Structure 1
């Protein structure tokens, strides 16, 4: 199979296309002929070696890639409910392996997209993230119908899944924030925001609005300022750190004085402990995407352009998602 491979941590130039043996599914696994592989910030962090000292996270050599779409190639022993040729999307159980023409995934992580009429490029760009957004909003933030939502980094890969799921759950108002350089793209987005504002102009740009739930994939100064944007009993949900500011701290005294909650959500830590919740979240995600609630911008590049994709991710010049096709 063709695959993007790295043998050491480093800048995007460490990525190269090679030929590797086709992986075979073990019992309980499904092999997939990959048509599209999403490029995520977590792929960049893994390539950089940001988590190299954390047990169980990828060490070279490996093939990056967490999310893929494609068709079922072969079923491992004991797998039921899927057929060869069926259209699917999946997360990789290891967080790697997606930038390839074949991926093996655990059955529990594979989602059929048959019958939904979703383009596979949009499916890989939106369905896994929408499933994670559903889990984050319902299980961690405990969002209720009628509540208001603010999403920072509103056009980003994961962030862009939240407005559609929030609408599906009955949000009364959904507002996004972006940095000034992305305001033009924000004005043209089809994502279901009521309004998108300049994050540098917060809180003034909101004219006194506060929110029941604030989603923060950005970190840094945006995260610290989010406490001022929470309504009484509001919840700040941390879902990433795109700013790269790993030293930012939150004053815990403000939590009890303001009666607010700060929680974290990471797919890598949440899903293994709550596998039974994944299927309902996937069904909610499929409905949201099929209903046009996750029309994020998708830029499709050939697998050979993985270096370019990672350079663009690092420069933060992406509005939506980049998807690689073998």
Structure 2
């Protein structure tokens, strides 16, 4: 259950930054964590806790040893723990914070796209090893994480980017400003794509979509398993399909990958800012007050959204 509570304002420790939050993004991972899907995984938060892993706001206070930012500067931050974002004041590790000053990006869009675009940059460069001129297929094309991939793929020189959505999302897909070449019905891939094959497939959906994706890869192609929106936790893929097709499947979970590869965070955040400022991340954003966090989660579970949902705190007294 989500409830609004009052706590004392936190202060940053060494290497940390306190952020006065103006916007907090709501993601599917927040819903899964609230439902306890990961409660038995080591290191995952246990209730009660404050959800939220993406915030935008202004620097409130710098912890000892933090340089390169000033109080009042506009920033976006990613979370090291996947928690703490649904708050009016957020404590962030300095290396997960990037200034948005001078980029002209609305903070609601910044928090909706920049952290995910940074993760997409890491996934495409370090895991998928996307090369200039290659093609990319993105499942769940309008979802929060998926929507970050077409812009970053374009930035990296992809020759073609195609998205897939459920039939109920096709109308919204027709109006999107995201840089896809086209978006097709995920249930009609064989007809919609004819014989087209891809170098990289991004799959945050899982289940049978993941299995069906194997036949859409070129020899040497790479599938990035980046989520499980299908909620199919028993799905398996036979290893013989991999060697027969000459393809690779790799998992990407930013919460597991980035803490052990921190050197990629800063360049990824900068690349994300550049992409969003260039108009490559124009997704739909719905802004709600913190008091409607439960309704936001329900919309996520019902798939009743066209882009991202962002929460804003009540004005501070």
| TM-score using structure 1 length | 0.95
Which residue among 244, 255, 260 is the counterpart of 2:242? 255
The answer to whether 1:120 aligns with 2:107 is yes
Aligned to 1:152: 139
Which residue among 104, 126, 132 is the counterpart of 2:119? 132
Aligned to 1:6: none
* Deviation sequence 1:129-184 (CA, Å, 0-9, x none): 00000000000000000000000000000000000000001111100000000000
Which residue among 260, 280, 292 is the counterpart of 1:293? 280
User: 1-side partners of 2:32 and 2:120: how far apart?
Assistant: 20
Across the two proteins, how many residue pairs are aligned to each other? 313
User: 1-side partners of 2:79 and 2:150: how far apart?
Assistant: 25
Which residue among 312, 320, 323 is the counterpart of 2:299? 312
User: 1-side partners of 2:63 and 2:156: how far apart?
Assistant: 36
Aligned to 1:167: 154
**Do the aligned residues in 1 keep the contact of 2:86 with 2:290 (CA within 8 Å)?**
yes
User: 1-side partners of 2:156 and 2:79: how far apart?
Assistant: 27
- In the TM superposition, 1:259-274 aligns within 5 A as 259-274=246-261
Shift of 1:93: 1.6
Shift of 1:108: 0.7
Which residue among 63, 68, 72 is the counterpart of 1:85? 72
Shift of 1:205: 1.2
SS at match of 2:31: helix
Shift of 1:204: 2.0
Which residue among 10, 17, 35 is the counterpart of 1:30? 17
User: 1-side partners of 2:30 and 2:10: how far apart?
Assistant: 20
Shift of 1:46: 0.8
Aligned to 2:201: 214
User: 2-side partners of 1:105 and 1:161: how far apart?
Assistant: 22
Aligned to 2:46: 59
Which residue among 176, 188, 193 is the counterpart of 2:163? 176
User: 1-side partners of 2:190 and 2:257: how far apart?
Assistant: 31
Aligned to 1:201: 188
User: 1-side partners of 2:190 and 2:25: how far apart?
Assistant: 33
The answer to whether 1:72 aligns with 2:59 is yes
Could you list the runs of 4 or more consecutive aligned residues of structure 1 that deviate by over 6 angstroms after TM superposition? none
* Deviation sequence 1:19-65 (CA, Å, 0-9, x none): 11111100110000000000011100110011111111010110100
SS at match of 2:103: coil
User: 2-side partners of 1:197 and 1:251: how far apart?
Assistant: 27
The alignment yields a C-alpha RMSD, in angstroms, of 0.6
User: 1-side partners of 2:190 and 2:207: how far apart?
Assistant: 15
User: 1-side partners of 2:147 and 2:229: how far apart?
Assistant: 14
**Do the aligned residues in 1 keep the contact of 2:287 with 2:311 (CA within 8 Å)?**
yes
Mind listing any 5+ residue stretches in structure 1 that lack a counterpart? 1-13
User: 2-side partners of 1:190 and 1:238: how far apart?
Assistant: 25
User: 2-side partners of 1:68 and 1:140: how far apart?
Assistant: 25
User: 1-side partners of 2:118 and 2:42: how far apart?
Assistant: 26
User: 1-side partners of 2:136 and 2:227: how far apart?
Assistant: 17
The answer to whether 1:241 aligns with 2:228 is yes
| TM-score using structure 2 length | 0.98
**Do the aligned residues in 1 keep the contact of 2:117 with 2:272 (CA within 8 Å)?**
yes
